[in-house]
Amino acid sequence: MKKNLHEIILIFLVIVLVGAFLILFYAPPQADIGPEQPIPFSHNVHVGVKQIQCQYCHPYVAYSNFPGIPPVEKCLHCHEYIISQHPEIQKEHQYFNTQSPTPWVKVNVVPEHVFFNHQRHINTKVACEECHGQVADLQRLPRKPWRMKACIDCHRSKNAIVDCWLACHN
Ligand code: HEC
Ligand code: HEC
Ligand code: HEC
Ligand code: HEC
């Protein structure tokens, strides 16, 4: 009986160890760095190193509900000349020549019934970074599903409106 118990514990330990190994081995180590994009665009290179302004690429952010991702034409303004032979830049030409929009994967998501408008926020000088983090340090943007709590916490701390049904839900 005692011997059986030892065996059971041993088998149990082996299962746990094998399980832990499999999880560590197969879980992608960078699972939370965000979805892979069609072109590995890096905010770190463009904003952090090359100091390009957000609004150069996201020009409508202050006026529209849709800040917009730059069309590939805009990338080519620079990349016609800069590292033009880079394979990822060749992809830009391909999208451009076939007139197909680059299928960027959206990372910030608000539920459909929520009304979010950048204009109100940027006009009151809430920095991009307060909501989007230090994108200048990131190679790839992480997925961010917005929950109501994130909106409310900031609105409370800045004495902004918290009457959600009037302001945010439509
Ligand atoms: C204002 C100029 C400018 C614009 C606009 C621009 N880039 Fe760049 N990009 C650069 C510079 C400068 C580099 C660094 C080149 C080097 O390493 O020598 C770069 C590097 C890259 C690289 C190389 C990979 C890497 O991580 O170093 C890729 C890919 C790239 N850009 C994609 C894009 C895409 C996609 C767009 C449009 C959404 C874009 N770029 C818009 C200036 C620009
Ligand atoms: C050279 C062009 C360029 C510049 C400059 C740039 N971006 Fe972007 N941005 C892009 C491209 C291309 C994408 C889509 C690919 C991606 O998500 O990485 C993007 C995506 C984003 C997204 C995610 C959109 C989504 O899917 O929800 C945010 C947020 C963002 N940018 C914020 C910023 C901020 C803040 C700055 C300035 C600090 C900035 N960007 C500067 C080109 C640029
Ligand atoms: C108060 C928080 C907040 C601030 C400040 C803010 N954003 Fe956003 N941003 C969001 C939210 C929330 C979304 C998702 C909205 C949606 O999907 O409708 C978003 C989405 C985006 C997108 C993706 C838009 C698209 O068409 O998919 C870009 C690009 C972006 N923001 C850029 C910026 C830039 C650049 C700044 C600063 C000038 C900025 N944001 C400031 C909260 C913010
Ligand atoms: C980092 C802080 C911050 C976050 C996060 C934030 N907000 Fe705001 N928001 C503000 C501030 C500050 C104002 C006040 C604007 C003013 O006084 O004109 C505001 C104003 C608003 C308004 C306008 C209210 C009015 O007076 O008509 C709406 C709507 C709104 N936010 C919705 C949202 C939603 C939805 C989210 C989440 C997806 C969100 N906000 C996230 C700071 C934030």
Residue identifier of the C-alpha nearest atom 2 of ligand 4: 154
The pLDDT tens digits of the residues spanning 74-104 come to 999 999 999 999 999 999 999 999 999 999 9
The pLDDT of residue 99: 92
Identify residue 124 by its one-letter amino acid code: T
The pLDDT tens digits of the residues spanning 28-41 come to 555 568 899 999 99
Residue 166 has pLDDT above 70, yes or no: no
The pLDDT of residue 47: 96
Contacts 24+ apart (CB under 8 A), 110-115: 110/146, 111/146, 113/169, 113/170, 114/146, 114/148, 114/168, 114/169, 114/170, 115/167, 115/168, 115/169, 115/170
The pLDDT tens digits of the residues spanning 57-80 come to 998 887 777 778 999 999 999 999
Task: Point out the ligand nearest to the CA of residue 35.
Answer: 2
Ligand 1 neighbours by CB, cut-off 6 Å? 39-42, 45-46, 50, 52, 70, 74-75, 77-79, 82-83, 86, 88, 92
Task: Point out the ligand nearest to the CA of residue 133.
Answer: 2
**167: CA distance to ligand 2 center in Å?**
26
